[in-house]
Amino acid sequence: MDLFFTMVVPLIMGAAAVAGMCRRVDVYDALVQGAGEGLGILVKILPALVALLTAVYMLRASGALELTAAAVGPLLEKLGVPPETVGLMLVRPVSGSAALGVGAELMETYGPDSTVGRTAAVMLGSTETTFYTIAVYFGAAGIIKTRYAVPAALCADLAGFLAAAWAVRVVFG
Protein backbone atom coordinates (compact mmCIF):
# COMPACT_ATOMS: atom_id res chain seq x y z
CA MET A 1 0.00 0.00 0.00
CA ASP A 2 2.84 2.36 0.90
CA LEU A 3 4.46 1.67 -2.45
CA PHE A 4 1.19 2.58 -4.19
CA PHE A 5 1.06 6.01 -2.53
CA THR A 6 4.73 6.65 -3.30
CA MET A 7 4.11 5.65 -6.90
CA VAL A 8 0.81 7.49 -7.27
CA VAL A 9 2.22 10.38 -9.33
CA PRO A 10 4.13 8.33 -11.91
CA LEU A 11 1.25 5.84 -12.08
CA ILE A 12 -1.32 8.56 -12.83
CA MET A 13 1.06 10.13 -15.36
CA GLY A 14 1.39 6.80 -17.13
CA ALA A 15 -2.34 6.10 -17.02
CA ALA A 16 -3.15 9.58 -18.34
CA ALA A 17 -0.66 9.19 -21.21
CA VAL A 18 -2.03 5.77 -22.20
CA ALA A 19 -5.66 6.94 -21.93
CA GLY A 20 -4.80 9.97 -24.05
CA MET A 21 -3.02 7.90 -26.71
CA CYS A 22 -6.01 5.52 -26.90
CA ARG A 23 -8.31 8.49 -27.53
CA ARG A 24 -5.88 9.91 -30.12
CA VAL A 25 -5.15 12.96 -28.01
CA ASP A 26 -1.85 14.77 -28.67
CA VAL A 27 -0.65 13.88 -25.17
CA TYR A 28 2.51 15.97 -25.25
CA ASP A 29 0.72 19.07 -26.50
CA ALA A 30 -1.97 18.69 -23.80
CA LEU A 31 0.68 18.25 -21.11
CA VAL A 32 2.60 21.36 -22.14
CA GLN A 33 -0.53 23.50 -22.53
CA GLY A 34 -1.85 22.32 -19.16
CA ALA A 35 1.49 23.07 -17.52
CA GLY A 36 1.20 26.58 -19.00
CA GLU A 37 -2.14 26.94 -17.23
CA GLY A 38 -0.38 25.95 -14.01
CA LEU A 39 2.05 28.78 -14.58
CA GLY A 40 -0.93 31.13 -14.87
CA ILE A 41 -2.26 29.92 -11.50
CA LEU A 42 1.17 30.43 -9.98
CA VAL A 43 1.47 33.98 -11.32
CA LYS A 44 -2.01 34.73 -9.94
CA ILE A 45 -1.29 33.47 -6.41
CA LEU A 46 2.27 34.82 -6.08
CA PRO A 47 1.29 38.45 -5.31
CA ALA A 48 -1.31 37.30 -2.78
CA LEU A 49 1.25 35.01 -1.16
CA VAL A 50 3.78 37.85 -0.92
CA ALA A 51 1.23 39.99 0.93
CA LEU A 52 -0.09 37.23 3.16
CA LEU A 53 3.15 35.46 4.05
CA THR A 54 4.55 38.81 5.16
CA ALA A 55 1.60 39.25 7.51
CA VAL A 56 1.78 35.61 8.66
CA TYR A 57 5.51 35.85 9.42
CA MET A 58 4.88 39.05 11.38
CA LEU A 59 2.05 37.45 13.32
CA ARG A 60 4.22 34.48 14.20
CA ALA A 61 7.16 36.68 15.27
CA SER A 62 4.90 38.86 17.42
CA GLY A 63 3.75 35.88 19.45
CA ALA A 64 0.07 36.59 18.66
CA LEU A 65 -0.43 33.13 17.14
CA GLU A 66 0.97 31.45 20.24
CA LEU A 67 -1.31 33.54 22.46
CA THR A 68 -4.36 32.49 20.42
CA ALA A 69 -3.21 28.88 20.44
CA ALA A 70 -2.75 29.04 24.22
CA ALA A 71 -6.22 30.54 24.66
CA VAL A 72 -8.10 27.88 22.71
CA GLY A 73 -5.47 25.15 23.11
CA PRO A 74 -7.14 23.15 25.90
CA LEU A 75 -10.40 22.89 23.96
CA LEU A 76 -8.64 21.91 20.72
CA GLU A 77 -6.48 19.36 22.50
CA LYS A 78 -9.59 17.75 23.93
CA LEU A 79 -10.86 17.41 20.36
CA GLY A 80 -7.51 15.95 19.30
CA VAL A 81 -6.56 18.92 17.11
CA PRO A 82 -3.02 20.38 17.42
CA PRO A 83 -3.52 23.95 18.81
CA GLU A 84 -0.84 25.27 16.42
CA THR A 85 -3.32 24.88 13.56
CA VAL A 86 -5.79 27.41 14.99
CA GLY A 87 -4.66 30.19 12.60
CA LEU A 88 -5.06 27.89 9.63
CA MET A 89 -8.61 26.94 10.64
CA LEU A 90 -9.55 30.61 11.07
CA VAL A 91 -8.39 31.76 7.62
CA ARG A 92 -9.22 28.62 5.59
CA PRO A 93 -12.87 29.45 4.81
CA VAL A 94 -12.03 33.09 3.98
CA SER A 95 -8.93 33.03 1.80
CA GLY A 96 -7.27 30.20 -0.08
CA SER A 97 -3.93 32.01 -0.49
CA ALA A 98 -3.82 33.02 3.18
CA ALA A 99 -4.50 29.43 4.21
CA LEU A 100 -1.76 28.20 1.88
CA GLY A 101 0.61 30.75 3.42
CA VAL A 102 -0.25 29.80 7.00
CA GLY A 103 -0.02 26.10 6.15
CA ALA A 104 3.34 26.51 4.41
CA GLU A 105 4.68 28.37 7.44
CA LEU A 106 3.48 25.58 9.77
CA MET A 107 5.12 22.90 7.60
CA GLU A 108 8.34 24.94 7.49
CA THR A 109 8.41 25.53 11.27
CA TYR A 110 7.35 22.12 12.52
CA GLY A 111 8.51 20.03 9.57
CA PRO A 112 6.32 18.54 6.82
CA ASP A 113 6.39 15.09 8.46
CA SER A 114 5.49 16.26 11.99
CA THR A 115 1.97 15.79 13.32
CA VAL A 116 1.34 19.54 13.07
CA GLY A 117 2.72 19.70 9.52
CA ARG A 118 0.73 16.69 8.36
CA THR A 119 -2.48 17.88 10.01
CA ALA A 120 -2.06 21.28 8.35
CA ALA A 121 -1.53 19.60 4.96
CA VAL A 122 -4.57 17.34 5.35
CA MET A 123 -6.72 20.29 6.51
CA LEU A 124 -5.67 22.23 3.39
CA GLY A 125 -6.29 19.24 1.15
CA SER A 126 -9.71 18.32 2.48
CA THR A 127 -11.43 21.73 2.67
CA GLU A 128 -12.19 24.61 0.31
CA THR A 129 -12.38 28.40 0.42
CA THR A 130 -16.00 28.26 1.57
CA PHE A 131 -17.03 31.93 1.48
CA TYR A 132 -15.43 32.55 -1.91
CA THR A 133 -17.22 29.54 -3.41
CA ILE A 134 -20.57 30.58 -1.92
CA ALA A 135 -20.13 34.11 -3.26
CA VAL A 136 -19.30 32.86 -6.76
CA TYR A 137 -22.21 30.41 -7.00
CA PHE A 138 -24.94 32.51 -5.44
CA GLY A 139 -23.68 35.59 -7.23
CA ALA A 140 -23.89 33.86 -10.61
CA ALA A 141 -27.32 32.40 -9.85
CA GLY A 142 -28.73 35.72 -8.57
CA ILE A 143 -29.54 34.34 -5.14
CA ILE A 144 -30.26 36.84 -2.34
CA LYS A 145 -31.76 34.49 0.24
CA THR A 146 -28.99 31.98 0.88
CA ARG A 147 -31.00 30.20 3.60
CA TYR A 148 -28.99 27.46 5.36
CA ALA A 149 -26.15 27.18 2.82
CA VAL A 150 -23.59 29.05 4.96
CA PRO A 151 -24.18 27.17 8.24
CA ALA A 152 -24.25 23.81 6.43
CA ALA A 153 -21.00 24.63 4.58
CA LEU A 154 -19.32 25.70 7.82
CA CYS A 155 -20.43 22.42 9.43
CA ALA A 156 -18.62 20.63 6.61
CA ASP A 157 -15.48 22.74 7.21
CA LEU A 158 -15.50 22.08 10.94
CA ALA A 159 -16.02 18.36 10.34
CA GLY A 160 -13.17 18.46 7.82
CA PHE A 161 -10.78 20.03 10.35
CA LEU A 162 -11.63 17.56 13.11
CA ALA A 163 -11.51 14.66 10.66
CA ALA A 164 -8.11 15.84 9.35
CA ALA A 165 -6.56 15.64 12.84
CA TRP A 166 -8.25 12.31 13.42
CA ALA A 167 -7.20 10.88 10.04
CA VAL A 168 -3.56 11.88 10.60
CA ARG A 169 -3.63 10.04 13.93
CA VAL A 170 -5.25 6.97 12.35
CA VAL A 171 -2.99 6.81 9.29
CA PHE A 172 0.33 7.79 10.86
CA GLY A 173 -0.27 6.41 14.36
Partner 1 sequence: MAAVWTGMVLVSILCGLATGRGEAVAAAAMEGAGAAVELCLTMGGMLCLWTGVMEVLRRAGVIRALSRLLRPALGRLYPAFARDGQVMDSIAANFSANLLGLGNAATPLGIRAARRMAAATPGRANDGLCTLVVCNTASVQLIPATVAGVRLAAGCRTPFDILPAVWLASAVSVCVGILAARVLARVWRD
d(CA 35, CA 30): 8
Q: 39 to 68, contacts with partner 1 by CB under 8 A?
A: 39, 41-42, 45-46, 49-64, 67
**113 sits near partner 1 (criterion: CB under 8 A):** yes
**164 sits near partner 1 (criterion: CB under 8 A):** yes
Torsion, Cα 91 93 95 98, to 10 degrees, reads 30
Min dist. Cβ of residue 13 to partner 1 (A) = 5
**13 sits near partner 1 (criterion: CB under 8 A):** yes
d(CA 22, CA 168): 38
| Amino acid (one-letter) located at 77 | E
- The answer to whether 103 and 97 have CB atoms below 8 angstroms apart is no
State residue 88 phi and psi, 5-degree precision.
-60, -45
**80 sits near partner 1 (criterion: CB under 8 A):** no
Min dist. Cβ of residue 73 to partner 1 (A) = 17
Q: 122 to 161, contacts with partner 1 by CB under 8 A?
A: 122-130, 133-134, 136-138, 140-149, 151-153, 155-160
| Amino acid (one-letter) located at 150 | V
Min dist. Cβ of residue 86 to partner 1 (A) = 14
